[in-house]
A and B are shown apart, each in its own frame.
Chain A
């Protein structure tokens, strides 16, 4: 009994298990259901429950369209009487089963959805105070967000790595509709290994679909979104700083509506902005941390605080954050890193990392004698920007492409790399190509030093570059040489795909040292730093 719409393997097993066991004893529905409910409440598989519940809710939705009458009455009924849960469930099932298609999977899903629904209502009833939307949702007959928000143990999977799950996409579309933000469509043929990620075209920015003037989204945010999607603002630090400045503008222009509290309303105002920016370009780890900080600060504002005072406080907080975590951190890291640069060094850098450029410029100011080799890669060619900045300062530079790195590496004494994020299992997430440079450097026994501020540390874990990544516009790979563009019609050729990855993860055994504002630590100490930071907060 294969579930056609579900791609998650473990989820399939669960469904099959349950449907199998149900298939055997159709006559003892109620007893079975009771036993199952108890079992499921004990089970800890939150994520599978989420997906299964979403799915069953979708099924229920499609079924309920034909039998909408029994549904709304059962919802308030089950809300008020959680103990009477088994009773309405069989009532719902025969009603919904008759219009349901004769296929086996749909039938078992209908039965599943009933107990899912019952279980969720029970949980919701027990935690009613938290979400005021429940009653509203039940009235409109639309399924609510999964109960994961009520279980803080496991985080919900971010939407942008579940593109192959149609339920998640539907949910996202509905959420964006509610927030009045246009949905960005995927572009081009996606390589099968990456069908779980979005792939957008740079030629179709989201802002084209917005009405002007946009009443929902603050113009500073619209401008920021456009800058992100077109690559005008790129680089982890630059994006975070731009985001924080835009939020400062939003806070300045904000007025609390009557009968609302600033601490709650402002957070709700920020949510559509964040969705919009996410649609323009997936948020980076540093941006995520910055947003978490802001939300925390906003919700910590005491309710008796006057509006002007509160706004002033928030603006101050943001200024402090930028100053501490980015500017002062850069100074501290430069101080540590300069100890590692000696006279006569040949330093290899990759791409354009603002932090590494800062370090090299500082070292040059302090009269260290070294030369730099800048390695670059297509299609972004960010290394040229780094080259310009270094040459302007007067540092002697060499420039090569990444395919020539094994030619140039015997000359190199150290490798300095920047990072986009440091993951909790010690892996370094950075621009694609970084892991390759670290690999070749290791083969030639050249030390690799990664420079990263602590605000980029994130609690995710990842072991390969596939599960969570970003796919850039595939048309960037097209190049015209000698008047011939080989890949011009790649869309017409059915079996040809172009892959433009943005990030990759470097295993910790390739990295010798991580220089942070807290000092010089090995790659594996990242979870320690995170723990210490969380305790402080």
Chain B
């Protein structure tokens, strides 16, 4: 997306241009989630969302922080409704809302530390920061917010590299590493380690979409000895595996994962053999959701992938399920590697409070 200079475009055209872009983004999101795996990686979605939010900040009409937050929240609700399973969109919106709050607070002059320390006394007497109505107008707010969003964008661009840089700390030579499906983060991670170390990778193909095949061809072309196995052989082969490294779609607020289906089995097998399970997830995948919402957690796609229409005779008499995601509880995970370093699953709640404001959990 090209950021056009405000001064060159007249006001009304800006508005229509903005709405067009938002509509285009929404239809992209709707189309992208048709169940054949993400057509675009989560990183791209995150970047595009943030760029769009920056555009909204730059081009929409608003006079105070409260207005801006309202606008962003409104658009954000539409975006998350377009594709509920694409949680990075919601995460970026919450990040930007937090940025706005921070910039507002800084402009008002209150130090950041006192704001963050929500003392018990303050909570009880003043009712917390919700009384804050963000109505004051600050001239420099727009520029500050846009600058902060730019920083966020730079951070987003560097996430995969940051994670890949930590690869040599975790992979030693002659290891057997197992992974499932296709994750661009894990791919970059392993390729980076392969530059200096020799190891063996086993990829579980992850039916029915079989994205593991792509991962395996890509890794083997980078000079890593790769083996493709079927999902049924995960437990059989696990006894020879030294580490399991996976990517995920979302990291939930309790430290659990919402990952591609088959990951729970992989995690259980790793636990049985006491093999460490390492999750490579950049910070923008961290979501304030919890796994208890049954109706929004699972996503299903056409059962034609599982039982094709050629089996017509029995197709009408059976129920066929094709879930896309799996829940992995935090007890099965050993380590999270993100662009800001490695953490235990029990630390995720703390990171969450640093990234998002509690009032933004519900958009």
Contact = CB atoms under 8 A, between A and B. Distances in A.
Contacts of B210: 479, 481, 486
B293 interface: no
A466 B238 CA distance: 11
Interface string A380-413: 0000100110010000111111111111100000
A406 B306 contact: no
Contacts of B265: 402-403, 405-406, 436, 439-440
B225 A397 contact: no
Contacts of B2: none
A490 B240 CA distance: 23
A442 to B, nearest CB: 9
Given A388-B314, A499-B228, A500-B230, A435 B236 contact: yes
A408 B321 CA distance: 9
Nearest to B228: A498
B276 interface: no
A186 B99 CA distance: 62
Contacts of B298: 407
B230 A440 contact: no
B268 A440 contact: yes
A497 B321 CA distance: 30
B318 A397 contact: yes
Contacts of B227: 191, 496-499
Interface string A187-204: 000011100000000000
Main secondary structure of the interface of A (DSSP, over half): mixed
B323 A404 contact: yes
Contacts of B268: 406, 439-440, 443
A398 B229 contact: no
Interface string B310-353: 01011001111111001100000000000000000000000000
B248 interface: no
Contacts of B236: 432, 435-436, 464-465, 501, 504-505
Interface string B244-287: 00000000000000000110110011001000000000000000
B232 A496 contact: no
Contacts of B205: 378, 477
B319 A398 contact: yes
Contacts of B314: 384, 387-388, 391
A481 B35 CA distance: 13
B231 A406 contact: no
B226 A495 contact: yes
Given A398-B320, A439-B272, A496-B220, A377 B231 contact: yes
Interface in B199-246: 200, 205-210, 213-214, 216-217, 220-221, 223-237, 239-240
B223 A387 contact: no
Contact of B326 (A192, A407, A443): A407
Interface in A165-198: 191-193
A499 B217 contact: no
A187 to B, nearest CB: 16
B240 A193 contact: yes
B307 interface: yes
Contacts of B206: 403
Contacts of A399: 306-307, 318-321
A43 interface: no
A440 B332 CA distance: 13
Contacts of B229: 499, 501
B110 interface: no
A426 B208 CA distance: 33
A87 interface: no
B233 A432 contact: yes
A5 interface: no
A495 B233 CA distance: 20
Interface string A305-337: 000000000000000000000000000000000
Nearest to A407: B323
B19 interface: no
Contacts of B228: 477, 487, 490, 496-499
B317 A400 contact: no
Q: Looking at chain A, what size class is its interface with the partner chain?
A: 35 or more
Contacts of A377: 207, 230-232
Nearest to A389: B314
Contacts of B233: 432-433, 499, 501, 504
A384 B36 CA distance: 23
Contacts of B231: 377-378, 401-403, 433
A387 B264 contact: no
A304 B321 CA distance: 65
B261 A495 contact: no
A379 interface: yes
A501 B227 CA distance: 12
A366 to B, nearest CB: 21
Contacts of A378: 205, 207-208, 230-232
B230 A439 contact: no
Contacts of A436: 232, 234-236, 265, 269
B232 A402 contact: yes
Interface in A474-494: 477, 479, 481-482, 486-487, 490, 493-494
Contacts of A404: 261-262, 321-323
B217 A486 contact: yes
Question: Which of A404, A408, A465, A466 has the most CB atoms of chain B within a 10 A radius of its CB?
Answer: A404
A468 B319 CA distance: 37
Question: Which of B230, B269, B306, B313 has the most CB atoms of chain A within a 10 A radius of its CB?
Answer: B230
Contacts of B220: 493-496
A384 to B, nearest CB: 6
Contacts of B307: 384, 399
A103 B141 CA distance: 83
A433 to B, nearest CB: 3
A495 B223 contact: yes
Nearest to A478: B213
B321 A403 contact: no
A133 B268 CA distance: 55
A75 to B, nearest CB: 45
A177 B24 CA distance: 71
B213 A479 contact: yes
B230 to A, nearest CB: 5
A492 B206 CA distance: 23
Contacts of B226: 495-497
B299 to A, nearest CB: 11
A401 B319 contact: no
Contacts of B306: 399-401
Contacts of B221: 493
A432 B320 contact: no
Nearest to A477: B228
A407 B325 CA distance: 9
B234 A398 contact: no
Interface of A: 191-193, 377-379, 384, 387-388, 391, 396-408, 431-433, 435-436, 439-440, 443, 464-466, 477, 479, 481-482, 486-487, 490, 493-501, 504-505
16 contacts: A378-B230, A379-B230, A384-B311, A391-B318, A401-B231, A404-B322, A405-B265, A406-B261, A407-B321, A433-B232, A443-B268, A486-B210, A487-B217, A495-B225, A497-B225, A505-B236
3 closest Cβ pairs, A-B complex: A433-B232, A403-B262, A486-B213
Given A403-B326, A477-B230, A499-B237, 5 more contacts: A399-B320, A403-B207, A432-B232, A496-B216, A501-B230
